[in-house]
Structure 1
Amino acid sequence: MKITTPNGILEAESIEAILEEYGRDCLRGADLCHANLNGADLSGADLRGADLWRADLSYAILCHANLNGADLRGADLCHANLNGADLRGADLCHAHLNGADLGYAILRHANLNGADLSGAILCHAHLNGADLSGAILCHANLNGADLGYAILRQANLNGADLSGANHVKLSIAKISILPDEGDIIGWKKASADDETPIIVKLLIPADAQRSNSTGRKCRASKARILDLQDLDGDSLPPDTTAHSQYDRSFPYRKGETVHVEDFDTNRWNECAPGIHFFITRIEAVEY
């Protein structure tokens, strides 16, 4: 195996042998893009600034490794052991980390945009300022994790364990777009019998259950239909009936109030039963 580093080319039978011969700090800034490191033992290795773009690190042992500033975009880290690893400022955009052990890992200001962290262990991980936009965190364990200033916009947290997570209320508050009290005006796209798009103007009453996940789409348990409009904003005739685009048996008629009996109170389950709507009309039009 040959590895190009800022200090020259290192060669040995395996990456473990290279670390044994040249020391745990020999891979700093190394070119390991597309490298097959499946199951490799890189525990405690200094990989600061290393290029691991699209590398296969599935099942690799990286506990307490230093990956500060490493390029791990699109890397396969499924079921890797990254317990206690230093990933400060690392680029993990669209990396595959499902089932990985990131307990106690330092991920401050790491880029995890679009990363798959489903089922990952993130207990007591340091995620301060990490960008988790669009990340998949389904059933991830974030118990005791520090989420101070973490960006969770459009992240999927369905089934995630956030018990004991620090600063989670503040991080969630930053993505909560619905007021806790009072009536809300909402907008949704429905359709006529001939599939013509119809924009429904809704009043979400103060006593309705309401939630949004980490994106812009919201749900409510009850709504009154204030108006039915065409895409340009002109009101349609009073006897117009619109239908949900997902359940044709669910009608919307001006002046009526609609209810969803099986409303799911789990805010992270974005596609759960409920009257789905947006806060702005343009989002409903473009949906």
Structure 2
Amino acid sequence: MGDSKNVSLVDVGLAGANLAGANLADVDLTGADLSGADLTDASLAGANLASADLVGADLTRADLTGVIAHDANFTGAYLTRAGLRDADLTMAYLTSTFLGHADLTGADLSGAYMTGAYLGDADLSGAILISAYLGKANLTGANIVTAVLDGADLTEATMPDGTSAH
């Protein structure tokens, strides 16, 4: 795609598309339908995914550094080993999402819905999870030492040490 600066794909329909390895850095994908898309190893750094539909998408090892994805729907998506450093995921839907070994350093997940999400061995250093809902999430081995969890709901979540939150 070459230089993707200032490219606008607002509300584009790419459901089920094979975009593995694609360079979508800095692309405006606001409201895009990427449900079920293969974005394995894709670069979406700095992209705008606000209100996008990524239900069931495969973003394994994708670079989403600094992505704007507030109110985006990642339900059931695969973000294993994805780079989400400094991402804006406020009010995003990450229900039953796989985020094992993901880098969420400095990400803003305020108000995010993460029911049943798998965050095993994820790095949440400095992540902001104010009022996030992490009910039944699995945080086994995750680094949450400097994460801000004020008002976060961890009901029945599995904590980094393997114990269950009440």
TM-score, structure 1 length as denominator?
A: 0.53
Equivalent residue runs for 1:218-257 within 5 Å:
none
Aligned residues: 158
Q: 2:125 pairs with 135, 138, 141, which one?
A: 138
Larger radius of gyration: 1
- Is 1:127 the counterpart of 2:73 in the alignment? no
CA distance in 2 between partners of 1:35 and 1:15 (Å): 14
Equivalent residue runs for 1:106-125 within 5 Å:
106-125=93-112
Task: Spell out, residue by residue over 1:69-115, the C-alpha distance to the aligned partner (whole angstroms, 9 max, x if none).
Answer: 00000000000001000000000000000100000000000000000
Question: What is the root-mean-square deviation of aligned Cα atoms in Å?
Answer: 1.6
Q: 1:103 pairs with 90, 111, 129, which one?
A: 90
- Is 1:27 the counterpart of 2:50 in the alignment? no
The match for 1:215 is: 161
Aligned letter for 2:43? D
Structure with greater contact order relative to length (CA < 8 Å, sep ≥ 6): 2
- Is 1:72 the counterpart of 2:59 in the alignment? yes
CA distance in 2 between partners of 1:67 and 1:58 (Å): 16
Aligned-residue offset at 1:121:
0.1
Q: 2:72 pairs with 85, 110, 118, which one?
A: 85
Segments of structure 1 that go 5 or more residues without pairing to the other structure are: 2-13, 176-213, 217-287
Aligned-residue offset at 1:31:
1.1
**Is the alpha carbon distance of 1:82 and 1:125 closer, same or farther for their aligned partners in structure 2, counting shifts above 3 Å?**
same
The match for 1:161 is: 148
Identity of aligned residues (%): 44
Task: Spell out, residue by residue over 1:195-217, the C-alpha distance to the aligned partner (whole angstroms, 9 max, x if none).
Answer: xxxxxxxxxxxxxxxxxxx237x
**Is the alpha carbon distance of 1:48 and 1:169 closer, same or farther for their aligned partners in structure 2, counting shifts above 3 Å?**
closer
Task: Spell out, residue by residue over 1:215-237, the C-alpha distance to the aligned partner (whole angstroms, 9 max, x if none).
Answer: 37xxxxxxxxxxxxxxxxxxxxx
Aligned-residue offset at 1:158:
1.6
The match for 1:192 is: none
CA distance in 2 between partners of 1:97 and 1:30 (Å): 22
TM-score, structure 2 length as denominator?
A: 0.90
Structure with the bigger percentage of helix: 1
Aligned-residue offset at 1:170:
3.5
